[in-house]
């Protein structure tokens, strides 16, 4: 279906709450955005329309139909989550210094693992939304987190994913009186704008660390810096972050960052880059509209998807900074480079704990987390780089029948292996991604101990 776009005048006062604390003489700001035709989708382009995403987000958050703090049911929803997602076997490990031996099997649990604060907060607010609106239709714009167990539970609570056709979300199915949840990764600004024009309740569970990255790219945009975002261009979080940036390019890893830096230096870094045409082809899905590498890479800033490897983000920042120093001189660096610390604390401590765990004497590693979870993939990466046999599974269902396992490697390959669990005394390192409930890890360990022939284990 063809989409016809037109400019719409939007008085931002319509997003303000009627709360008496709002000054009555607040100035009305009018912005322009691109609005969609009849299929219900929208597109916004800040460079063409003058749309101020920061102002829009600020005023949306003050609206009477917007909630990001819950609905007063925190205690009872946390109690429900505790019943649904905790594990006795994990509690036993924690009570014994994160290490316990069952027969011939010793399990060492990482010091930091599993549900982070932002994930727990997002899931808990989603639970509150269902309690607050028991009869309303509730939608969610993406998976709330990257964990199949939690997402299935929300489906059971009749929280439905927005339908997608030909790669586009069908926002027209959302009608007046519905409730829409924005997931922990956040939502792109055009999606927020579409929803704000409907008479619905928006429940925003965006992790505050993600919002911190948005603030960083908005500052870069204000200073006319191009944002170099360390992330995966199709990841929900990076899509949202890019929507708040002005000019941007997404680099997945150090190799891609070095390519960009080499281009800036005219092939003077490592010779990996080539022509402008090749550059644009290489990053065709990972740059802002109309991206010009010759003019847009004169002033750059660093941002990141919060789940990326901390060390790699830091090294990318250093390489880019050195590149700009080399190109424009140390004395001019502040005119060409800007950086804010946007590395998520939860991601960092889990990666640090994994680095500590792989230094111990282990026979193998079990990494538990959603197969589409970026932060879990980097935990697997740490083990693989250390040379430890590591098995990344998303649930206990990947183990068995018998001594068989189906697991994923860091680069995405799915592997099946027979006799993966060796006989005799073994030590297993265990960690889990920030979106993984303890219950899922506990169920996997029960399966592992069952293969080892340990009897009498009734914990999950």
Residue 177 backbone class (left: φ over 0; alpha: ψ -120 to 50; beta: rest):
left
CA angle at 414 for the pair 187 and 390, rounded to the nearest 5°: 95
Say yes or no to pLDDT of 156 above 80: yes
454 confidence band (pLDDT: 50, 70, 90): low
Instruction: Give yes or no for a contact between 229 and 241, defined as CB atoms under 8 angstroms apart.
Output: yes
Q: Residue 9, SS3?
A: strand
Judged by average pLDDT, the poorest of 14-28, 266-280, 376-390 is 14-28
Q: What is the mean pLDDT of residues 348-354?
A: 95
**Per-residue pLDDT at 50:** 72
Q: Are 246 and 288 in contact (CB under 8 A)?
A: yes
pLDDT at 49: 55
Q: What does R_g of the chain's alpha carbons equal in angstroms?
A: 24
- pLDDT at residue number 268: 96
Average pLDDT over residues 318-334: 98
* pLDDT tens readout for residues 15-70: 333 333 333 333 333 333 333 333 333 333 434 457 888 899 999 999 999 999 99
Using alpha carbons, select from 345, 440, 432 the residue that is nearest to residue 113.
Answer: 432
User: Rounded distance, CA 279 to CA 264, Å?
Assistant: 11
Taking a C-beta distance cutoff of 8 angstroms, is the pair 386, 407 a contact?
A: no
The residues assigned a catalytic role are: 237
Q: How far apart are the first and last CA of the chain?
A: 50
pTM of the prediction?
0.85
Q: Is the bond preceding residue 7 a cis peptide, omega within 30 degrees?
A: no
8 Å CB contact between 422 and 371:
no
Q: Which strand (E) or helix (H) includes residue 393?
A: strand 390-393
For residue 452, the model assigns a pLDDT of 83
pLDDT band at 5 (very low <50, low <70, confident <90, very high): very low
Res 3 pLDDT > 70: no
pLDDT at 343: 80
More confident call, 161 vs 48: 161
At residue 369, does pLDDT exceed 70? yes
Q: Which residues are within 8 A (CB) of 371 and not within 5 positions of it... i.e. 6 or more apart?
A: 392, 394, 408
Selection from 204, 193, 237, 170 nearest residue 45 by Cα: 193
How high is the pLDDT of residue 341?
83
For residue 151, name the pLDDT band (cuts at 50, 70, 90).
very high
Mean pLDDT (whole number) for 196-223: 95
- Provide CB contacts within 8 A for 415, sequence distance 6+: 406, 407, 408, 409
Q: Which of 21-35, 124-138, 151-165, 205-219 is least confident?
A: 21-35
- Provide the token pair at 300: 């750059």
Contact 240, 186 (CB under 8 A): yes
Residues 85-106: pLDDT tens digits? 999 999 999 999 999 999 999 9
Over the stretch 397-443, which tens digit does the pLDDT of each residue have?
Answer: 999 999 999 999 998 899 999 999 999 899 999 999 999 999 999 99
DSSP 335: G
Q: CA–CA distance from 397 to each of 167, 320, 402, 404 (Å)?
A: 30, 43, 12, 11
CA distance 188 to 390: 35
């Amino acid at each position: 279906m063809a989409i016809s776009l037109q400019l719409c005048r939007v008085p931002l006062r319509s997003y303000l709450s009627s709360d008496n604390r709002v000054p009555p003489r607040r100035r009305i700001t009018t912005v322009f955005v691109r609005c969609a035709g009849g299929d219900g989708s929208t597109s916004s382009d800040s460079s063409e329309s003058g749309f101020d995403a920061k102002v829009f987000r600020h005023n949306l958050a003050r609206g009477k139909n917007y909630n990001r703090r819950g609905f007063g049911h925190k205690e009872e929803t946390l109690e429900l989550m505790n019943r649904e997602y905790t594990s006795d076997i994990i509690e036993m490990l924690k009570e014994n210094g994160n290490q316990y031996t069952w027969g011939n099997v010793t399990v060492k649990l990482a010091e930091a693992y599993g549900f982070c604060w932002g994930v727990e907060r997002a899931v808990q607010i989603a639970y509150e939304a269902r309690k607050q609106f028991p009869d309303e239709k509730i939608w969610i714009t993406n998976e709330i987190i990257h964990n199949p167990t939690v997402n299935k539970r929300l489906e059971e609570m009749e929280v439905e994913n927005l339908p997608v056709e030909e790669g586009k979300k069908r926002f027209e199915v959302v009608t007046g009186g519905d409730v829409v949840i924005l997931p922990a990764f956040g939502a792109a600004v055009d999606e927020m704008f579409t929803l704000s024009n409907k008479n619905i309740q928006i429940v925003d569970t965006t992790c505050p660390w993600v919002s911190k990255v948005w603030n960083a790219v908005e500052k870069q945009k204000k200073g006319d810096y191009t944002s170099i975002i360390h992330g995966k261009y199709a990841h929900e979080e990076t899509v949202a972050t890019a929507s708040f940036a002005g000019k941007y390019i997404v680099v997945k890893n150090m190799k891609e960052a070095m390519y960009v830096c080499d281009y800036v230096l005219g092939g003077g870094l490592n010779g990996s880059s080539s022509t402008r045409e090749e550059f644009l082809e290489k990053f065709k899905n990972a740059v802002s509209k109309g991206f010009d590498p010759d003019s847009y890479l004169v002033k750059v800033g660093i941002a990141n998807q919060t789940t990326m490897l901390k060390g790699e983000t830091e090294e990318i920042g250093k390489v880019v900074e050195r590149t700009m120093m080399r190109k424009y001189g140390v004395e001019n660096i502040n005119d060409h480079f800007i950086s804010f610390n946007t590395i998520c604390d939860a991601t960092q401590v889990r990666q640090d704990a994994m680095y500590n765990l792989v230094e111990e004497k282990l026979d193998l590693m079990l990494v538990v987390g959603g197969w589409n979870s970026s932060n879990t993939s980097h935990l697997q990466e740490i083990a693989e780089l250390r040379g430890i046999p590591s098995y990344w599974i998303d649930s206990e269902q990947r183990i068995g029948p018998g001594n068989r396992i189906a697991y994923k490697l860091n680069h995405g390959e799915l592997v099946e292996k027979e006799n993966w669990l060796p006989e005799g005394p073994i030590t297993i390192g265990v960690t889990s991604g920030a979106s993984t409930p303890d219950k899922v890890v506990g169920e996997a360990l029960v399966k592992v101990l069952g293969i080892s022939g340990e009897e009498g284990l009734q914990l999950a």
